[in-house]
Structure 1
């Protein structure tokens, strides 16, 4: 028996460390080395602080928006689920890693039995007992080809991916709260603008009605003035509905009620900081969705090792040692010791192609994760490129729109003056009113579009994770769970 144990130990030592996990190689990024360039694009300049390291409190200047984001990080249910998923995957990893070690259990049992006389060999009733105490190892697999280690590595990489999934959820939540808040503020400003415009239309209708009574304005002029009033009322109802729906959406994202006493700032104020664009290669280390896909790729790579190891023999050990006696008082007396050693080897011979299919499936899953990893890089590159194009063109568009609003204000003042002194008809004055209202609406919506594009660019670059600039994050691989 001792020779068998020594031979088995030598074989385990020689074969141990034969990992069948393929060497991992990070796929090449399927994007250009530089962001697109041209008249529509703002130049991407490297900065001392990457967007991913720029805290959201430093990016968003509006204190009310900061308050809402902070509340969402505490109360949003999607983020809470993502955090709980991390704990779940961590537990799964600990369960899988436990298979690397033998499970030792202690047992104690006793039996007391009476045999009637007609069943007893001696012809007399007997009372017998059986007691035992022991320690045992049951079906512990010697991981000669790293099958169990491969499964443990797969669970570990999946756990790492769940951490990146939570970061991605938080990043999206910060951006969604900001965009919902900005949309809410834009609709509020459009509502106030519509109220002011409606007052001007009502005053114009009153003047036109008086002029019609004295024969100066025609019925057509009066009808046009009334049309403008009703149109403004339609817009007023629309913005009132949108404000309520925007607030509902914001409440859902925040996870709790939005304070009624929020002190808001105009959209035209300096609400956001500049976003440093960096280089395309930065996305591979900054974007949590890309890192999530890479961890899943590593997990599928480890799964191939487990599928390969299934082709080779597996050895499991069952052993126990203890003491047994027919009397409870004799359990620990000399000569009552007992032991059992039961090695078992399993060699796959015929399984109708099941193992080969499992290996093929693992390889296909890896190819799928490679494609998903590459797609996440391409998506990130496209989102950043769109953000850079939006930054440059929206600045130009807003400048032109402000000039357009100023021109319409001049046109409105001139048309109003000429109408009041009787030079022009009421139609020219109403046209000036409508054009000014439309231009002011477009200015608010263009400003909203510019702000949301900057928020989306901040998100695309991996920003929105830390709270303060310079607050470093620890890579998940450096925080391996204990236990």
Structure 2
């Protein structure tokens, strides 16, 4: 009657173990097929945005970016985190292999004898006095815990995903330094050009103030006109002082990014140069491309895969364990330096463990691992949503700023024509000097607005490059699972993006 029940018991145990080893599954988030701001966009090759700062065609910017990537401490700290994760992975892999040791021991024991020993063999051995016993042992010992159900392999895979996450975070830190360097350089150049325009405006305001005084002396204008001209000149002088302060702060911020002594950028970048703009259209690709280009998404996906592997390892801890030990050595014993024995020995054994009752410790570990996985999944979805929003904002911002700059260029052209007409009228005696200066002031203000539009467009371009995950060349090969289980959500998404 027992035999027919054995297959049922074995089947029930198999079903129970299979249920214990299953990990939660997460639904893949939905991705739009195209960008809302650009209805027609093809997939972009990884190398298209690998060095986006070179698209600005500014050798100085390229040199500063290279220097920042070499010197910035944030990049160095991120690389140290990668080294830590790599060491943890090596430590995890070592748990799959046997360990070999060479332990040794020696002891000496002294027993006081307070009884008389009668004449005979015992007295000949010196046992009528205190007894001294010496033992020693030296052995080559090996132990190996067999990973029968994959708990150690699952933890090994979790460590591999953590390494991938650390590498992605290091790339993200590097890209952040590149973006901050480009933004700081653009702001510095914008402030330098703004200062040049402000100096021209001060010269124009001084001339207007001089003419106002002459006209007041001639009785053609009132004191109000004189004070207004003087107030405008004083306002520009105050603006110049504030601008010089902002310029010094921008140069110091760039020095900090480049990890160089304060004042270096102010000296190296003192020459005149315009605000650079990226040449040509920026390839946006498709939303699916973000999964293999954005290092923050890659890091979140790797953390999710790591959490799934940890959840699997926690479930595999419910399974039995088996360890094998073996030793080969030599031992000896001596009694009162008279009787000694030396021998070789070998040992071979195994240790078997079956978890039965631990007051819910292992079940709690499974719950904690599942909560960590759910947290990683929510974090991945949030990061993906932020990435999509940043790209949409970047696309709309670049297109809008490009149209605005085109309109500002047309406005400047009209003011340029107006100033030329005023000069011609003045030479013909049809306009006075104040009308010419007013036309020049209008042209100067148009140039300032055009500079502002150019700066905002360059800033928007950098933001779009960052949102698209540009600045490095990702490996299109998807990650493979070493733990023997199905790939996690992060691996699935990265594989889909690679295809």
TM-score, normalized by length of structure 2? Answer: 0.80
Distance 1:19 1:235, change over 3 A: farther
1:285-296 equivalences in 2 (<5 Å): 285-296=292-303
Task: Give the C-alpha shift of residue 234 in structure 1.
Answer: 2.0
Name which of structure 1's ranges 256-265 and 272-281 shifts more when overlaid on structure 2.
Answer: 256-265
Aligned length: 453
Matched, 1:36 2:30: no
Partner residue of 1:104? 100
Residue 128 of structure 1 deviates from its aligned partner by 3.2
Work out the CA distance in 1 between the residues paired with 2:282 and 2:257: 24
The structural deviation recorded for 1:350 is 4.0
Which structure exhibits the higher relative contact order, with contacts defined as CA atoms closer than 8 Å and separated by 6 or more residues?
1
* Aligned residue number for residue 402 of structure 2: 395
SS at match of 1:323: strand
Give, in angstroms, the shift of residue 136 of structure 1. 2.4
Equivalent residue of 1:136, what SS?
strand
Alignment partner of 1:198 out of 199, 202, 208: 202
Determine the structure 2 residue equivalent to 1:131. 136
Tell me how far 1:473 sits from its aligned partner: 4.4
Q: CA deviation at 1:31?
A: 2.9
Cα 1:337/1:186, change in 2 over 3 Å:
same
Aligned to 1:177: 181
Q: Which residue of 2 aligns with 1:142?
A: 146
Would you say the 8 A contact 1:62–1:271 is kept in 2?
no
Is the alpha carbon distance of 1:27 and 1:434 closer, same or farther for their aligned partners in structure 2, counting shifts above 3 Å?
A: farther
1:284 and 1:290 in contact (8 A); partners too: yes
Q: For 2:470, which of 434, 441, 463 is the aligned residue?
A: 463
Relative to structure 1, the CA distance from residue 23 to residue 265 in structure 2 (aligned partners, 3 Å threshold; closer, same or farther) is: farther
Shift of 1:242: 1.1
Q: Who is 2:219 aligned against?
A: 215
Distance 1:292 1:197, change over 3 A: same
Aligned CA RMSD, in angstroms, stands at 3.6
CA distance in 2, matches of 1:204, 1:414: 19
Indicate how the Cα distance of structure 1 residues 112 and 119 shifts in structure 2: closer, same or farther if over 3 A, else same: farther
Q: Which has the larger radius of gyration?
A: 2
CA 1:44–1:304: 2 relative to 1, 3 Å:
same
Q: 1:341 and 2:376 equivalent?
A: no
Cα drift, residue 227 of structure 1: 1.5
CA separation of 1:98 and 1:434: change in aligned 2, threshold 3 A: same
Give 1:382's match in structure 2, choosing from 382, 389, 396.
Answer: 389
1:308 is aligned to 2:310: no
- Contact between 1:136 and 1:318, CA under 8 Å: does it hold in 2? yes
Tell me which moved more, 54-63 or 184-193.
54-63
Deviates more, 1:395-404 or 1:372-381: 372-381
Q: Which position in structure 1 is the counterpart of 2:78? A: 82
Q: How far does residue 45 in structure 1 lie from its aligned partner after superposition?
A: 3.4
Unmatched segments (≥5 aa) in structure 1: 1-13, 467-471
Deviation at 1:67, TM superposition (A): 0.8
What does 1:357-436 align with in structure 2 at a 5 Å threshold?
Answer: 357-411=364-418, 435-436=442-443
Distance 1:191 1:90 in 2: 50
**CA gap 1:229/1:416 in 2 versus in 1, 3 angstroms:** farther
Q: Superposition pairs for residues 21-32 of structure 1, below 5 Å?
A: 22=22, 27-32=27-32
- Write out per-residue CA displacement over residues 90-142 of structure 1, whole angstroms, 9 at most, x where no aligned residue: 1111112222223221112333455555499833134432121112246x533
1:69 deviates by: 0.5
Q: Provide the residue aligned with 1:451 in structure 2.
A: 458
Deviation at 1:391, TM superposition (A): 2.4
- Which structure 2 segments of 5+ residues have no match? 1-13, 118-126, 483-499
Deviations 1:70-93 (A, max 9, x none): 111110000110111000011111
Superposed displacement of residue 46, structure 1? 2.8
